[in-house]
Amino acid sequence: MIEEPSIAILPGDGIGPEVMDEAVALLKDIEEYDPSFSCEMTSFLWDSNYYLENGRMMPEDGLDQLRSFDAILFGAMGAAHVPDDVTVWEFIMPIRKNFQQYINYRPVKKLRGIQSPLINSDAVDFVIIRENAEGEYSNSGGKLYEYTEEAVAIQNTIMTEKGIKRAAQFAFEQAREKGVKLTNATKSNAVIHTMKFWDEVVERVSKEYKDVHYEKVYIDALAALFVQKPQSFGVVFASNLFGDILSDLGSALVGGLGVSPSANINPTGEFPSMFEPVHGSAPDIAGKGIANPMAQIWSTALMLEHLGRSDLHQLIINAIVKALAEGFKTKDLGGDHSTTEMGAAIRKYVVKQLQGAVV
């Protein structure tokens, strides 16, 4: 456990600040009721308004300002007046890439009290581990002869031995730790250069983990299996693009964007890891006080686990389940509780547990 971890708070746009308020309030309550926990939070108001005023998403030395933190807790970024590719390529990607957050970690866990579109969704509990630094999202390519009939667009997928290997090792470690099988999401039958190479490296790594059951499944079949047999997965390991798509499918199976957390992890610990909900700024509901804070709070739980407090992670999950069981639900889950009511209910059950109660 890092003593008094420093946490950079980046609320961002839209519902980001609304759900972040609930996460920050939770961290403050944990500090108050758990004598063994304290943290130092610093907020950064880099959002789309900052972009309008300054022509950039963060200050020139923004990454340097974040570098020394133990973790980054991020809300969401995006607004109508800022092109989507600007928020992605001038904010989220520089953080992920410069801080070598080469793992994207997304739990797909069905909590009691949440409705799933699946008839039998009990016991869905797996994690998608996505290579987060290269692959299909390498920003390599360009256009030729634009605006002519000969126009050509090229987007390169860059896969490296090192990049695949380190991500695969992380995924196999997780599978070993959890005692579950590892499913490699691939398409090497059709994408015969990059995906075949991906498989070769993953299979080489699998030899170092002979105790972990390994299987390779084509992405199209895998998407169907997510719906038909979601209980059969433990760790799903995927490239950047495949992992991105599968994550939203996984999230839809267990309650949708409002409840889905994620972590961008730098496994070496050299740089801060970043924790954020899967959802975006949700401009359609921003300012209405109805956003579900669960995804942000669950992401905060993942952050605490990463910082060495898996006990607090579990306690927060227990509190979410208890709040749901007590009937607390925001609109996306079919209820009518507000963001602050939902946040307060979860905090109440966290505090109760810190006071010794079993919830």
- x/- contact string, 296-335, with ligand ATP (CB under 6 A)? ------------------------------------x---
How far is CA 176 from each of CA 129, 136, 170, 180, 274, rounded to the nearest angstrom? Answer: 14, 27, 10, 7, 24
By the rule CB under 6 A, 20 interacts with ligand ATP: no
Binding residues for ligand ATP, total number by CB under 6 A: 17
The least distance separating ligand ATP from the CB of residue 12, rounded to whole angstroms, comes to 9
The least distance separating ligand ATP from the CB of residue 329, rounded to whole angstroms, comes to 11
The least distance separating ligand ATP from the CB of residue 46, rounded to whole angstroms, comes to 15
Among 285, 307, 315, 344, binds ligand ATP (CB under 6 A): 285
Helices (H), the chain: 16-33, 48-54, 62-67, 84-87, 93-98, 161-178, 194-206, 219-228, 240-253, 294-306, 310-325, 339-354
Q: Is the dihedral of CA 65, 16, 128, 6 positive or negative?
A: positive
How far is CA 20 from each of CA 11, 17, 118, 261, 340, rounded to the nearest angstrom? Answer: 6, 5, 30, 13, 11
By the rule CB under 6 A, 281 interacts with ligand ATP: yes
The least distance separating ligand ATP from the CB of residue 347, rounded to whole angstroms, comes to 17
Which one of 91-99, 177-185, 267-275, 283-291 is the stretch in contact with ligand ATP (CB under 6 A)? 283-291
By the rule CB under 6 A, 258 interacts with ligand ATP: yes
By the rule CB under 6 A, 78 interacts with ligand ATP: yes
Which one of 94-102, 215-223, 224-232, 273-281 is the stretch in contact with ligand ATP (CB under 6 A)? 273-281
Strand 273-277 with 152-158, pairing? unpaired
Q: Lay out the sheet containing 214-218: strands in order across.
A: 40-43, 6-12, 71-76, 273-277, 261-265, 103-109, 125-131, 235-238, 182-186, 214-218
Among 295, 307, 320, 324, binds ligand ATP (CB under 6 A): 295
Q: Is 215 left (phi over 0), alpha (psi -120 to 50) or beta?
A: beta
The least distance separating ligand ATP from the CB of residue 159, rounded to whole angstroms, comes to 26
The letter for the amino acid at 292 is N
Among 280, 315, 319, 345, binds ligand ATP (CB under 6 A): 280
By the rule CB under 6 A, 76 interacts with ligand ATP: yes
By the rule CB under 6 A, 282 interacts with ligand ATP: yes
CA atoms within 13 A on the CB side of 8: 23
Closer by beta carbon to ligand ATP, 5 or else 12: 12
Residue 13 to residue 99: CA distance in whole angstroms: 22
Which one of 126-134, 171-179, 210-218, 282-290 is the stretch in contact with ligand ATP (CB under 6 A)? 282-290
The least distance separating ligand ATP from the CB of residue 257, rounded to whole angstroms, comes to 4
The least distance separating ligand ATP from the CB of residue 25, rounded to whole angstroms, comes to 16
Residue 210 to residue 176: CA distance in whole angstroms: 10
b/e code 150-181 from CB counts within 10 Å (16+ = b): eeeeeeebbbeeebbebbbebbbbbbeeeebb
CA-closest candidate to residue 350, choices 66, 31, 136: 31
Among 97, 106, 109, 279, binds ligand ATP (CB under 6 A): 279
Which one of 54-62, 162-170, 289-297, 313-321 is the stretch in contact with ligand ATP (CB under 6 A)? 289-297
By the rule CB under 6 A, 222 interacts with ligand ATP: no
Residues that bind ligand ATP (CB under 6 A): 15, 19, 76, 78, 257-258, 279-285, 291-292, 295, 332
